[in-house]
Amino acid sequence: MHPSTNTRAADFVVNQIESSILSGELVDGEALPSERHLMEQHHVSRTVIREALATLAGKGLLQAKPRHRPIVTKPGVESAIEAVGGIIGPLLEQPGGIKNLFDTRILLEVALARDAAVNADKDDIKRLKEALEANRLAIKDSKKFYATDVAFHAVFYDISGNPVLPAIHKAYFSWLSQHWQQMPRNAKRNTFNYQTHEAILNAVLSRDPDEAEAMVRKHLAAAWQQVKNSFHID
């Protein structure tokens, strides 16, 4: 017997479709059946199906596209973090929201820099040097500089080999990019940011985790000050 209310019926449909995704019956990357097919399959209304699909998309199990059937997304680190994104957006608009998120980034990147100073291998060092050189070459082009800035930080998230960390990096810059990209930029500011990147790399090359931490804190403290000044955040 199916639940009688729309909410309970939607929960029932969510459980059924989620089980099919987890079992592999619904294949990762494929489109769901049509709404009409799902209505007939589960004996519920279109309203119930749409409520269920919205819930599944919020859980990261479906990728919704306008005017297209939702795509099945097998649970993974990136889909889980993307699902959290719907919550993060409103939190950033609350007092202290941006600062709170930025503080978590500082804590994480300090740890990543310390780890890199101890554990980075030759390939990691090569990637850091290449990312830094790309950053230097982009100093006069603020759009490219922003992209190479993000890429330099991304290397640190990759070094440990933990697949959760690159997904977190992607999420940070997705959540904060709206603010970052609105900030006024110029070659002088880009040069300063490049120089602090260089100082971080030099600490890693010296195998000095304390110095790597200090340079990351200096770099991100200056970055936060730029955000405060640009958006008049207390």
Which pTM was predicted? Answer: 0.66
Report the topology of domain 6-74: Arc Repressor Mutant, subunit A (1.10.10)
pLDDT of the chain along its 234 residues, tens only? 344 566 688 999 999 998 888 788 888 889 999 999 999 999 999 999 999 998 888 777 888 777 789 998 876 656 555 655 555 666 666 777 778 888 989 999 999 999 999 999 999 999 999 999 999 999 999 889 989 999 999 999 999 888 888 888 888 877 776 666 666 678 888 999 999 999 999 999 999 999 999 999 999 999 888 877 766 666
Task: Determine the pLDDT at residue 85.
Answer: 55
Which residues partner with 63 through β-bridges? 71
| Confidence at residue 224, expressed as pLDDT on a 0 to 100 scale | 87
Q: Determine the Cα–Cα distance for residues 26 and 220; give it in Å rounded to an integer.
A: 44
Tell how far CA 175 is from the center of its chain: 7
CA dist., res. 215 & res. 194, Å (int): 12
Looking at residue 213, its amino acid is: E
Q: What is the pLDDT of residue 193?
A: 93
Q: Return residue ranges of the chain for CATH 1.10.10.10.
A: 6-74
Which CATH architecture group holds 79-231? Up-down Bundle (1.20)
Torsion angle of C-alpha atoms 109, 130, 211, 209, degrees rounded to 10: 70
Which residues of the chain does CATH 1.20.120.530 include?
Answer: 79-231
Q: What is the pLDDT of residue 191?
A: 95
Q: What is the pLDDT of residue 2?
A: 46
Q: Which residues pair with 72 in a beta bridge?
A: 62
Buried b (16+ CB within 10 A) or exposed e, 48-83: bbebbbebbbebbbbbeeeeebbebbeeebbbebbb
